[in-house]
Chain A
Amino acid sequence: MVTLTIEGREVIVAPGTSLLEAAKTVGVLVPHYCYHPSLPVAGVCRMCLVEVEKFPKLAPACATTVGEGQVVHVHSEKAREARKGVLEFLLINHPLDCPICDQAGECELQDYTFAEGRKDSRYMEPKRFNPMEDFGGDVVYVPNRCILCTRCVRFMDVVAQDPVLCVAERGDRAYIGKFEGQDLTSPWASNVVDLCPVGALLSKDFLNKARAWELDRAASICTGCSQGCNVMVETRDGVVVRIRPRPNAAVNQHFACEVGRMHYRWMNRRDRLEVPMVSDGQGLALATWDAALTAAASEIASAGRVTVLASPALPNEALFLLQRIGAHVGASLVMTVPRGPEAPLPGVTDLALRAERAPNHTGAELLGFTDVSSPMAGLGANDLVIVADAAVASVPAGVRVIVVGTVLDATLAGATIVALPVCNVAEEDGTFTNLRGRVQRFLQAKAPPVQARPTYRVLGALAEALGAGAYPPLAADVFASLAAAVPAFAGLSYRGLGLQGADVTLPAEATT
């Protein structure tokens, strides 16, 4: 280990650590643009210059490794002057775009200029101008704002290993270009938008939708596939407007794919199932929660064969309660896992948009659900299916359905006898188990519509009404019951999971 002093604080880090990372460990932020912990060091923005005693020149903190006994000054006069110089240079040709720039509020150029830039501008010449460019995919490039940090180039080159971006031209004429005939359409391309420290690369999808300071954020898990990327769900006035990756070194580093990012759209569906409903013989009629739950319990209890058809996008908590209900009435537990092409991110070990396009495929398996292609096959009169947020192509004649869902599909409407409105993933708390068996929590990001209730609460009440046990009203407590009952989850708790997750004990074959 190497011991040094940074801003008067003693730091002990492993040899080879950069000054910038070493400073972080004692809570000292060295301002920087081109450095990113998930990208190779470029050392080009020259914003991170710090004073190291006995060094003849200022040292780039991102590209300088720690040395025994070094004394480093991040906020010395000389270092601050150098940063002020960099900021002045970067602002020379930078447009006064903040009022219309999507990055405003989360812009590192804005932040550092506010913190330590000049108060005036000495630049009197006309500014350089380059037109905006559509990079393909979801990304648009605004070259006037680009500070040439090359994060985007390095990401596409080294991490995505799809080198479509380059620095074109020299001098202040330089800009980020695309290689001839290529577009930014890699399934991971949008990460360049997050990586861009300024508003030079923007998401077309998010463009002009909100300002950073209007957003509420909740830590969540991506529902796009079974990878379980950690994400932030960002809402404005109760509407999800953006999903961005949340760092988790063990799962997705700093990244998320295009499919995951676009997975917020259904969270804002307006055609929701909003109130409990019970069939009155003519069709579904509004009911109170108590009446609906009672009706559902008695239908289930009196049915012949019962099938529980659950979505593998449901949280562990909901699936656990469904399993309990199923066990109580001797139902079979099935699911259908949607699939698509797998798209790995080559530069990161074990990160891919997975073929199983459901966040809780593994959790559902651990809780006893079997993947079937036609869940309704062979069912007929007197059979009852509890459809828990699953999509169904058609319902055989005579089959009665109890919907526990966020929407009521037209295909189910005719067969439904009770409909229980529940929250979607953005509206409740819960956990998913990813394909590697990592159990990860997601937090509520927005309010549910009208009378919809958290899935675990609805199913807990239903289980109780059926006499399948008493379940507490909080997600954490439901999870505690799950952990106590299902051996794979033994020892886990919300507190222990934190916001980075923990592993279940997977049976050997489930890991493949």
Chain B
Amino acid sequence: MNSTRKTAVVVGHGMVGHRFVEALRSRDEAGQWRVIILSEEKLPAYDRVGLSYYVGNWNADDLALPGNMYDGDDLVDLRLGQRGEAIDLAAKTVTSTSGDVIAYDALVMATGSYPFVPPVPGHDLPECFVYRTIDDLDGIRAAAEAAGPGAHGVVVGGGLLGLEAANALRLLGMTPHVIEYNGRLMPAQVDAGGGAILEKLVTDIGLNVHTGVGTAKIVSIEEEGADKVTVHLSDDAEIKASLVVFSAGVRPQDALAKASGLEIGARGGILTDLALQTSDPSVYAIGECAAIEGVCYGLVAPGYTTAEIVADRLLGGAGEFPGADMSTKLKLMGVDVASFGDAHGTTEGALEVVLHDAAKGTYAKLVVSDDAQTLLGGILVGDASQYAALRPLVGRPLPADAAALISPAGAELGADSLPDDAQICSCNNVSKGAICGAIAEGACDIPAVKSCTNAGTSCGGCVPMIKKLLEQSGVALSKSLCEHFTQSRAELYDVVAVTGIRTFSELIAKHGKGSGCDICKPTVASILASTSSDHILEGEQAALQDTNDHFLANLQKNGTYSVVPRMPGGEVTADQLIVIGEVAKEFGLYVKVTGGQRIDLFGARVEQLPLIWKRLVDVGMESGHAYGKSLRTVKSCVGSTWCRYGQQDSVGMAVLLEKRYRGLRSPHKIKLAVSGCARECAEARGKDVGVIATEHGWNLYVGGNGGLTPKHAVLLAGDLDDETLISYIDRYLMFYIRTADRLQRTAPWQEALEGGFDYLKAVVCDDSLGIAGDLEAAMAKHVEGYKDEWAAVLEDENKLSRFVSFVNAPDEADPTISFDDSGERKVPVLLGLPGMPVGVASDTAPAGK
């Protein structure tokens, strides 16, 4: 085989180039082809469509496409930072920028597009950027940070990418302006009516929109200051700004092809037939650089199709480009925009049905055939919830009256109205039939459908549809807490709140069955704790707590506990530090500073806990609740008191928040952080509630967490004053505590909310459910009722008597506990050997004092 192995050279390593290599390598089982890739960028293929996600976390690795280094594949040779410089069609060679001359059997042009920069005077000033690569975004970020918060930034171009660029500027703390030559935003996707609503919605969010004007020139400003250029508009208006981003569309990158003599389309792009073959039969063009029968497609989905076809052709297949679905759905700054099928009604005789609700800020248009029987396309702005149901119907008979389909009170589009071949997930091309098949084979919830079919794993827009298909197939999504309660945690919370039942025994007798278990007991304990300020070891509640809450300390692997006193905002006095040191020394504890700005003391036996806590309480320390599903820590940076960049007093705010929410029990542990400026030294966006100071107040982020699937918190509201900030956090946390599932962190809770993040925002910021007062009152009650759990135990002989290793020998230490102090750090020694009979293990242990 090796002697006949052929070489495919791929010029360009973007999303489509990578897809081509993946497709060829996965299908070419016999190893007929080896692949050499020339990549102009230094980074291997990344998700350019998701480029805007790079803003905020600045982690290029997150965008990397899976498998883009082809590790372990000897037949792929990826050459990063090397462009194709020249092609010799006669000799069938490509010369790279490093001078290598590479012979090919097949050449695949995947050079993509370059951003079009209109030749306005000043377009080449150092303050001007384009929005295409990770490098571009790094440059924009540096300029925005140098300019400081609130500085003005101008985006030339109000298309899809222009709005994304403007949003990136907004996330960088700038005041963004968008200039669009057309009379409306996103002219390719929406019509005048949709554009008007879109303009209103993005203006409400803080974008300054200038439509129907051109950019006349850009002039440098000589004086010092944040403003570096003046942008002159065609209507004589001027905008002073720190930077300008050109996002006026893209052009196919066809220069190399043109120079080597390949035929170019009338409007640019490398001309190909439906087989993606160029004017030279050994050369193919795929993705955005290809002009397929003269037409360039600037979306990734048709690009992927071209990649698959060429991979197939190289292996002897006969695939042809079937045309492209140019549907788009996106959420820009929380604004839904969707456009699908023949959105502009270009089909002969097409009719339009429009529902324009200016008050609600929504616009919906359906384009139907001249007999009003067939759906041709549509535009949705402000609310695109019907997109998933409507888009698969394009080209098919309308299941109901067109007006009813887009009217809020109109026809609910059942999943049953869709044919089996209708595409539900357009990102991963999954049909209704495939999803129903997975359900029939036993996938009984959303995660299972996702993992069997890939549907819903990209943009998530089709998840509501998958849910409907699950419901329709009769799958009852069980919310039962455990075998003892058929209710979910949220339902049990309501039962407790409404009935006033305060004991587990009464609750299980009236609303459950059996005697409970390690799932429902701690859940009910948490609900009881969230709804009152009783001590958690009081009365029957004591029996419900898991071992951490029962001993108010964290169980470690050898049965000892760790002790973590609270340090609000990470502050600690010298006296307190000295006592912590003394306690650690006296009780032989292992000391470690935690990730949450606390000091953790490990290795305390049960009977030592009260002695240790007595000492800590005496110097003013209290329980840090590190053991509970409760508020853990509020991390902070040093803020404006000490830091030269700090914009607000982050320590003060962190202390205030920690004292407010300490002792608050919840479905999962909760962490907060407060950063004093956008440098984010407290890593607030990795927390359930993250607060970041701005020049004008506080930005509030919610729903971040670590754990198995880390999430960044999402901006809930910006530039809040102290009072509003606290009321929003009160509402957010209480709403979470009342409605989340057992052990559900804030991030998945937020994602699972019906109506999504917009709904959460409406509940918390606009009080759309009218429960804000109730949530705040519940939090006020918690704050007022807070008492230190450890201080209360120390004052109560009955509770103290529980803190013993042995009920019959309260002074005896557990003889099975031992530590190895010989190494660098103290480590617990476990009992016996694996598989050793249990009875023997205790026999061999020392008999005690």
Partners in one complex: no
**Which of B's residues lie within 8 Å of A, judged by CB?**
none
**Which of A's residues lie within 8 Å of B, judged by CB?**
none
